Amino acid sequence: MTQRLLSCLVLVSLVSFQGCTHQQLRDNTVNHSKTVADVHTQQVLDNLAKFVANPHALPHFEYPNQGGSDVSDTIRGNSSFSFTPQALSGWGFGVDGTRNSKEAFTMTPVNDPRKLELMRCAYQRAVSSCCYCYGESAGCPNCDKRFNKFYFGQTGPPKRQKTTAEGKPIFLLVAEPTKEEVDSSTSSENEQLDCNSVAKNDKTLPAGIEVFPETNELGQTYYRCVEDPQNVILTPEEAKLSEIKTRLKEVYESDSLAKYTNRTGVVTAACLGGPCWFHVGEKSLVPDLCKECGFVGEYCGTCVWVPESGRDQLTKLTLTILDIALNDPPKSNTKEVVAFLDVNRDVTSKENAAYKVTATIPINAPVTDVVPGAKSSKLNILRIKQELSKIEAELEESKNMLALVKPRLTNAVDVSNLAEKNPGLRDELKFSLNNSKQIDLSKLSMLNEGFNWGDNKPPVVDNWFEKYNEAIIKNEMLKSRKRLLEKELEAAEESYENSGTATPSGLSDTVQESPNPFGEPGSNLLQLDQSLRFLAE
């Protein structure tokens, strides 16, 4: 009976000891997870001290990608008894055991130079708030461009459509003045949408009207009216179904990192500015409370400690560094293209293909980028034809611009015939001819002065002359480019017909110098004076 009782006592002791294992494992795991945050924060603090000591330093950062916590118990028990024939002469029992606890992380260091650049910019921005450097780098690397690339996928801030606080896109109801309204100076100032004359005369606009300056095809400034913009808030689907869809205009604005942060609510590098939030000094100056709570960083004798008021900024900086370490910039839109080539590396059908080329290229990249040696292939011929088509469209647009800007009448006979048939046009013809004369005088003066206007640039014909100058030179350059493309196309087609592999030679991509687009200076002034004298009679 006594032996059985002792055995039970040993067994109960062993079981109760083993029952504590899961509690210890739980406590170890919780402490293990706390250590992850402590490791991140301590690295940021040490880097902060490094950049206070040297604003041009290279940061360091590691993050755990694997971790584990393990607790194992080993328990042994024994008992012994001795008897005589008459009674129990002695007994004994013993218990021994061991507990092994192991915690481990597998750390991944950040070695990507682009990520280290971003971290360097983030630390420079943080320490500049306390005036410990001259600000973040503006070149090699350019921190603003690097941050834009990381958050937006491009070096410059993107354009985005304006939205409401709820995220719905905003469309504005617009009423554009006609050309007659633009040229007229006698429009009624009482009409609600006649903001052209209202804005010109600096009058007070009616409620609900906003004014946006625009430029028409003649280079003149007019004003676009927006009626009750806050009352026209539609989704794109609603806009398509609306009866006023032809009068809706999307409103775009330039995005920025600060706007992006405010709009999305996420922590970015835009959160790192503001007043100074940490202290710097010798180790002996660090308060005991900061030492106990682990808000101290050190580098080569330079200590940084963060008081309670600055710990929010410390967390933002830590989140920014983690974001840079773990995430990549957004990828630009791409497309996957497949080209089937024959033995001459020319585009062919799938059935006749000797080669298949597959590539992922930017969404706006031409397909010719996929095919090596496309300079003499059918694909290159197609590319040249497409470019020629584009040049011809631009030439047509340039001709239309010249027709609008070029002086309309310079011949006295034409003026007299038109004025007799349309007496109401006399004032308009005088205005046109005066402008034409001023333009020719300006061209003559400009050529005589060696294209140096100085402070005597005639403001009256400024827009007319610049538009005329721009349009006619663009027209000549387009013609020159068209001639080069036509030669290139002819050579490519001839090369393809002969061998299919020859590269066109003797071609140049340089634009030939255009002749003087103004003609002989002063040649039209006599005709202009004759026309003006006729109208003055």
Residue that the structure tokens 């706390």 belong to: 34
* CB atoms near residue 129 (< 10 Å): 18
- Chain centroid to Cα 256, Å, comes to 9
Q: What tokens does 518 get?
A: 């103004």
Q: What is the DSSP letter of 515?
A: P
Do 385 and 489 meet the contact criterion of CB atoms below 8 Å apart? yes
Exposed, middle or buried, 14 (CB in 10 Å: 0-12/13-18/19+)? middle
C-alpha separations of 206 from 162, 194, 214, 222, 388 in Å = 24, 10, 20, 18, 50
Distance from C-alpha of 331 to C-alpha of 18, rounded to nearest angstrom = 53
What tens-digit pLDDT sequence spans the chain (537 residues)?
555 555 555 555 545 555 566 676 666 666 667 778 888 888 999 999 999 888 888 999 998 877 666 656 666 666 666 766 666 666 666 666 676 666 677 788 899 999 999 999 999 888 888 876 666 777 788 888 888 888 888 887 777 777 666 666 665 544 444 445 445 444 333 333 344 444 444 444 444 444 445 554 445 444 444 444 444 444 444 444 444 333 455 666 777 888 888 877 888 888 887 788 888 888 777 777 666 677 888 888 888 888 888 888 899 999 999 999 998 888 777 777 777 777 666 667 778 777 777 777 766 565 555 555 544 456 667 767 777 888 888 878 777 766 665 554 344 445 555 555 555 555 555 555 555 565 555 555 544 444 444 444 433 434 445 555 566 667 767 777 777 778 777 777 776 666 444 333 332 233 233 333 333 434 444 554 555 555 455
